[in-house]
Amino acid sequence: MLEDMLSSPKVACSRTRAFDVILNLGVHAHLLEPILSEDPPIIEEDEALQEPALSNTDWSSRPRNINSEPSMQQRTSSAIDGFESWLLVILFENIGFLVQVEEKEEIVWASALSCLFYFIRDLGKILWSRLEGLDVRVTSTSRRMSKGV
């Protein structure tokens, strides 16, 4: 579907929108991330009093479930990271397609690179490791486009 959009002769309508779709999927993935609280959970005094005290022998015989299974937040975060990695692969393929078809429209390249910058940065810093797998011809082609050559 995205390749068909990129192959469309209508620049403003379809080709730039292909990258908007990928960007929107990435934004929505971030909306699914759980909000991590830095504060420890609050235990009510009544709950603490109802818990029986454990002696050393009781503790050693108790099953150890602490940290043995990932929490819901860790599983959700892992799933979101996997989804974002999958989107990044699709983005790389689509940008590579632009290189192959020798895309000339600057608006299409601007849309593609904006989407790329969204996925490779975190809190304002570029994560260079996320660029692994990107076709090296992308940078030279985008530089030529920005110079109007």
Tens of pLDDT, residue by residue over 14-57, are: 788 888 889 999 988 878 766 655 555 555 555 555 555 544 44
Q: How far is CA 17 from CA 56, 95, 104, 127, in A?
A: 63, 13, 16, 25
Evaluated on CA atoms 91, 95, 100, 103, the torsion sign reads positive
Confidence (pTM):
0.67
Residue spans of the domains in the chain: they are 2-34+70-147
Reported as a single tens digit per residue, the pLDDT across 60-113 is 454 544 455 566 666 667 778 888 889 999 999 999 998 998 888 888 888 999
Note whether 33 and 80 are within 8 A (CB): yes
Q: Taking the CA atoms of the chain, what radius of gyration do you get in angstroms?
A: 24
